């Protein structure tokens, strides 16, 4: 019985070490799916460039009830896609500065994305209606 217990412990020790190997991280592709949607309280926008760039993007956007003159974000968003063959993923927000909506965004990098930028206060945003948001500055899209 004693040799059975020692043999079992030895086998478990060797097996545990082999099974507990930490996997190496792989780059997961960012692919836009035609049925991609955001959470129920967010709006899903498919974006298109306003210049001649090739590519696509999607945004998950929360339109808040923020009023001019406060620092609460009017539009926080998550975005991902591919512009000109370069994959990206970012978080952003727009805050009123006077009567203008000024955007900030930062890329998330390290999971297969090609773009790693920061956009501090250099995005101008206009809400044309509930289905169209116009973006200019660091990039141009609608």
* 93 within some domain: yes
Question: Over 60: is that where the pLDDT of 128 sits?
Answer: yes
pLDDT of the residue at 118: 93
User: Is the model more confident about 85 or about 51?
Assistant: 85
Confidence of residue 132 (pLDDT cuts 50, 70, 90): confident
pLDDT of the residue at 26: 43
* 109 within some domain: yes
* 127 within some domain: yes
Give the separation between CA 138 and CA 136, rounded to whole angstroms.
Answer: 6
Task: Quote the number of domains for the chain.
Answer: 1
pLDDT of the residue at 108: 94
* 117 within some domain: yes
Give the separation between CA 81 and CA 55, rounded to whole angstroms.
Answer: 8
Assign 3-class secondary structure to 23-73: CCCCCCCCCCCCCCCCCCCCEEEEECECCCCCEEEEEEECCCCCCCCCCCC
The domain of 126 spans: 43-137
pLDDT digits (tens, 9 = 90+) for 12-67: 444 444 444 443 434 444 444 557 788 888 988 888 888 888 888 999 998 887 56
**Is the overall model pTM greater than 0.75, yes or no?**
no
* 38 within some domain: no
* 21 within some domain: no
Give the separation between CA 88 and CA 15, rounded to whole angstroms.
Answer: 40
Whole-angstrom CA distances from 128 to 3, 80, 115 are 78, 22, 28
* 27 within some domain: no
pLDDT of the residue at 138: 86
* 13 within some domain: no
pLDDT of the residue at 106: 94
């Amino acid at each position: 019985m004693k040799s059975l217990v020692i043999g079992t412990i030895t086998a478990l020790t060797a097996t545990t070490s082999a099974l507990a190997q930490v996997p190496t991280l792989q780059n997961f592709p960012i692919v836009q799916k035609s049925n991609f949607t955001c959470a129920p309280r967010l709006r899903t926008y498919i974006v298109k460039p306003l210049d001649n760039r090739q590519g696509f993007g999607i945004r998950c956007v929360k339109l808040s009830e923020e009023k001019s003159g406060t620092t609460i974000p009017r539009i926080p968003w998550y975005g991902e896609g591919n512009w000109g063959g370069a994959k990206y993923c970012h978080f952003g927000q727009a805050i009123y500065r006077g009567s203008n909506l000024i955007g900030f965004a930062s890329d998330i990098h390290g999971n297969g994305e090609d773009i790693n930028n920061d956009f501090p206060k250099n995005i101008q945003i206009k809400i044309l209606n509930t289905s169209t948001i116009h973006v200019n500055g660091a990039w141009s899209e609608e």
